Structures are given as structure tokens and as C-alpha cells.
Amino acid sequence: MRNAAGSAAWEYHLATNHSPQSVAQDRFGLDWPNQPRPFKLYPGLEPIPLPASLPRSDMAALDAIAATGPSHPEAELDLATLTAVLGYSAGIMKLIRFAGGSMPFRAASCTGALYHIEMYIACGPLGDLEAGVYQLGVHDFALRRIRAGDYRAALVDATSALPAVADAPAIVVCTSVFWRNAWKYRARTYRHAFWDSGTILANLLAMAHAHHVRAQVVAGFVDETVNRLVDVDGAHEAAIALVALGYGSSPPPVPSPPAPPLHLVTAPYSATEIEYPAIQQIAQASSLETTADVAAWRAAVPTIARPAPTGELVALRPIDASSHVTEPIETVIRRRGSSRAFLRTPIGFDALSTMLAAATSALPADFLPAGLSLNDLYVIVNAVEGLASGSYVLHREQGALDRLRAGEFREVAGHLDLGQELAADAAVNVYFLADLRAILPALGNRGYRAAQLEAAIMGGKLYLAAYALGLGATGLTFFDDEVTAFFSPHAAGKSVMFLMAIGNPARRPR
């Protein structure tokens, strides 16, 4: 069985760790003329334009982000709502102009603004949209049908008859076109596949909840079946996550129509593509081959030991979101940016509490049984009113922070985050760490996907919550082992999955 016991994931993780030495010795330079196009284009397929007028939600943004329980009353998924969910998850929100050009700015952040995540939709009939498998063309906000017919049963089978998939009128398939990110980040791109899909899925879950549509993230599926369905090879582009959207659909026809290879022509992304074998190796090593493998993987539950509090806990004090922040999630997503500078001024403890509570609220995912989380949140507090500077760990069950070390750690934060001033200037830096030693033996190599994806979705929710509160945020990278060492002994043996810096934004001088 490819997924095995997790040794390949551990080897990949160690091989792609950043250290001060590896970064200092790296002489890699970007080949700007060869930069990939950030869109997948099918020259031979006709676009099906999506509705330009999108329905607005009636729920306060922070309530949508936290999504602490089922949204009542649950609504049926229609084409207008699907369009809104897709648009505010991966669509273009604005055009950023700069000297010499412009850049389409999307709804969710992406490492290097390289936008390597593609979205496909397998659905039954949705109003005027016929049953089929479609690719979302972000560049013109249109669907392109790559298969005609109702193929949802193939995904029901691929997910070992997961109830949420069997009941969904539409299933979203997220893939990564590895080269579009590897052009800059090389083998580390496999981490970014989950970071960048996770921030998209944070938007998607918030949008679905705001529109009262049920959504569940699915990481357990037969890779070959899903890749074949959306006509990708699994080596250069591969499925990394599904989302079941909606409920109460009529059952799809069983079996699905045949799904032979299509060999659709797509425009090249750049003149030359460079392959990084480590990406293909970990993608294959973490694949699930049969529905029995999927069922066994989903049933496995890692035992994660979490140390007891080391001292007096500081209880979180989240604000009443609905009474303080009433604007809808769509407004927050349109306002969201990626902070490039922070003021060294404090944020409120109530704001930090609200963001942490929103980020760690229940996540509907097939790999997270009730009460389980694969990641722990560690925080460097630089400037928070009512909270002493220092390092902390969040105890989610108690809803409280436990201070590990007191002190001023701005410069340490800057060093840990690859020497970036953003981390030193930020009010707080939130790190997501997972104990891969416990996760990989239980979930195999695919447990690495799950840990990365959960961290990124929580990070995406933290990102949105920061902007809902009028703050700024940005994702950063890090020196892996040095972060673990800084938070040890509490974090001993854990590995960093994701990092978010938050503070009061400042404009850089032009």
C-alpha cells in the first residue's frame, strides 16, 4: 500500500525544511521570462459564463468564519449560490496596478501570488446548468464543461460512500498545478499545495455557511479515480482535496458514465517546465489506491498527547461578533489584502481572542472526528493590550492561553520567520505545529496532507477574522527546526505547518 506508515512524508518534510544554513547557501534565482501563467486555459472549450450578479449573504462575517454549528435553516444549493461560493473563494476581486503592469488580485491569498490551485465541479442538474464535470475558469469567471453527464457516483465511490458526498448536489475538486508554484518554490511546493488550497477553503466554508449551505472538506479519496475524472495526470497536476456542497440531492445514477482519458488541449503555462521529483514522489506515496484504503484511513484516529498547562491560564475574551462586526463576509473578502508592513502598535486582547476562537472553531472535515485537531497553536505576543509579551500556547478545550516564556521577542520572531521585518513588527505571530510522530504512524503519508490542510484552513480563517476586525495579516514562511526549538520543551518533536502574522497595517512608502 502506497500510503504505508508515513516514512516518505517524514523524509519529504525533513528534505524541504528551511534552516539559516540552507537559506544562506541557496543561490537559486528566478527565471522571470519563464514565469508561468496563473490560469489553466482550454482553447477548444466554449465558456459558460457564470451569473454576474451574485446573491449577498445575511450573516455577520465573523459568524460565517467561525461557523460553530450547522447553519439553519439549511438552503438548497442553486447555481446562483454556487457561483457566489466559487467567486468569493477563488475569483478575481480587483486589479492591482503597478509600474509596468497589473495583477489580478484573488479572493484568497496564495504563496508568491502564483495561484496554482484549480477548481473543478462535478454536479447534477443545477437550474440552467446541466449535469457534468466543469472547470472554473477564473480569468473570465466561466465554467468549461469537460464531461457531460452526472458523474457524482464516481466520487461517492472514490470517497468510500462518504454520506456528505452521496448527499451533495455538487462536489468541488481542488487540484494543484505544481509547476505554477514550483517555478519559485521548487520542491517545497507540495507544502504550498495545501497552504494555498487551505486559504481558499477557509473562504469557501465561510461563504457556504453564510448562505446556509452545508459543506464538508474531504481529504480521503482514491486519487486515481478523482484525477481521471477531472482529466489530470496526478504528476503535473493532482487532486488534493474535495468539498461536498449542499444536501438533499436526488441520488446520482449508478454507475456513473465511463470516464475515459480526454486528452484535452491546454495552453502551456510557460516556455519550459522544470520537474521536481520530490513532489511527484510524495504525491504518489500519499495516494490511496482503493475504497478499502479510504475507509481504513478515515477510521484511523491518531493519539495526540498534549501537555497540561504549565502555569496560570489566561482565558480568551472574544467579543460578541454579531453585535460588533455586522458587515457580511463578502465585504471582508473584498477588503482582504496581504499586509506588507505593520505598525508597532498594539491590538486588543479581545481582538486576538476573537480571531483565535474563530480560527479554531469546529472544522467539517472527514479526517477530523469530533473534538480532534491535528495542530496546536503557538503564539509570539509582541503587542497586545492586556496581555504580557511572551510566548504562549493555546489550550483549545479551556479556551485559554498558557504563557510559556515571558519577554520581548520581536527580534526573535523576525529571525524565526526567515529574517522578515513583518514578523518583528507584527503584534502577534501565530504558528500551527503538528506532532507528525503521532500523526504519520496512524494516518500514513496522507496524514501529512491532513495536517497541512487543517493548519492552512485555520490560518485562512484567522486571516479573514483579522480583516473583519479591521486589522492586517499575512502568511509567512519560517526556519522549521528553530521555531520548534523556540517553543520547546512544550513543542519538542512537533513540526511547523503554517504561520500567520497579524497586526495594525501600515503603508509602505512609495
Q: What is the pLDDT of residues 463-492, one digit of tens each?
A: 999 999 999 999 999 999 999 999 999 999
The gap between the terminal CA atoms of the chain, to the nearest Å, is 55
Question: How many CB atoms sit inside 10 A of residue 276's CB?
Answer: 17
Query: Are residues 346 and 425 in contact, defined by beta-carbon separation less than 8 angstroms?
Result: no
- CB within 8 A of 134, min separation 6: which ones? 48, 120, 121, 122, 123, 143, 144, 145, 146
- Cα 167 to Cα 152: distance, rounded to the nearest angstrom: 10
CA distances for 457 relative to 151, 157, 196, 327, 497, angstroms? 27, 26, 9, 22, 11
Question: How many CB atoms sit inside 10 A of residue 338's CB?
Answer: 14
- Cα 80 to Cα 129: distance, rounded to the nearest angstrom: 10
What is the separation of C-alpha 464 from the centre of its chain, rounded to a whole number of angstroms?
12
Domain ranges of the chain: 88-259+272-299, 313-505
Does 313 score more than 60 pLDDT? yes
Q: Which of 433, 440, 477, 479 minimizes the C-alpha distance to 454?
A: 433
Residue with cell 457561483: 83
Residue 349: the pLDDT is: 97
What's the pLDDT band for 68 if we cut at 50, 70, 90?
low
DSSP 30-59: --GGGPPPSS---TTS--EEPPSSPPPP-S
CA distances for 164 relative to 215, 262, 340, 416, angstroms? 8, 28, 39, 40
What's the pLDDT band for 308 if we cut at 50, 70, 90?
confident
Q: Do domains 88-259+272-299 and 313-505 have the same CATH topology?
A: yes
Does 509 score more than 50 pLDDT? no
**What dihedral do alpha carbons 162, 165, 166, 168 form, nearest 10°?**
160
pTM comes to 0.97
DSSP 53-121: SPPPP-SBHHHHHH--S--SSPPPP-HHHHHHHHHHHHSEEEEEEETTEEEEEESS--GGG---EEEEE
Backbone region of residue 508 per phi and psi (left: phi > 0; alpha: psi in -120 to 50; beta: other values): beta
CA distances for 260 relative to 147, 332, 458, angstroms? 10, 42, 37
Q: Mean pLDDT of all residues in the chain?
A: 94
Residue 312: the pLDDT is: 85
pLDDT tens, residue by residue, 130-177:
999 999 999 999 999 999 999 999 999 999 999 999 999 999 999 999
DSSP state at residue 397: T
Q: Per DSSP, which regions of 306-368 are E strands?
A: 313-315, 342-343, 347-348
Does 321 score more than 70 pLDDT? no
Residue 510: the pLDDT is: 37
- CB within 8 A of 286, min separation 6: which ones? 2, 3, 8, 9, 444, 445, 446, 448, 449
What's the pLDDT band for 338 if we cut at 50, 70, 90?
confident
Query: Are residues 165 and 242 in contact, defined by beta-carbon separation less than 8 angstroms?
Result: yes
Task: Give the domain 88-259+272-299 fold.
Answer: NADH Oxidase (3.40.109)
Query: Are residues 262 and 231 in contact, defined by beta-carbon separation less than 8 angstroms?
Result: yes
Q: Which of 510, 484, 482 minimizes the C-alpha distance to 495?
A: 484
Helical axes 7-15 vs 436-443, angle rounded to 10°? 140
- Residue range 313-505, CATH number: 3.40.109.10
* DSSP H or E run through 428: strand 428-434
Per residue, the 3-state secondary structure of 451-496, as one string, reads HHHHHHHHHHHHHHHHHHCCCEEEECCCCHHHHHHHHCCCCCCCEE
- Cα 365 to Cα 210: distance, rounded to the nearest angstrom: 18
What's the number of CA atoms in the CB half-sphere (13 Å) around residue 55? 16
What's at 504, amino acid-wise?
Answer: N
Mean pLDDT of 419-446: 97
The string over 242-257, giving b where at least 16 C-beta atoms fall within 10 Å of a residue's C-beta and e elsewhere, is bbbbbbebeebeeebe
- Cα 391 to Cα 371: distance, rounded to the nearest angstrom: 25
Mean pLDDT of 104-115: 94
Q: Is the dihedral of CA 439, 206, 166, 174 positive or negative?
A: negative
Residue 103: the pLDDT is: 83
pLDDT tens, residue by residue, 349-372:
999 999 999 999 999 999 999 889
Least confident residue range of 14-18, 249-253, 294-298: 249-253
Residue 265: the pLDDT is: 96
Least confident residue range of 1-5, 25-29, 165-169, 200-204: 1-5
Does 71 score more than 70 pLDDT? no
Residue 468: the pLDDT is: 95
Query: Are residues 107 and 91 in contact, defined by beta-carbon separation less than 8 angstroms?
Result: yes
- Cα 290 to Cα 222: distance, rounded to the nearest angstrom: 6
Residue 322: the pLDDT is: 59
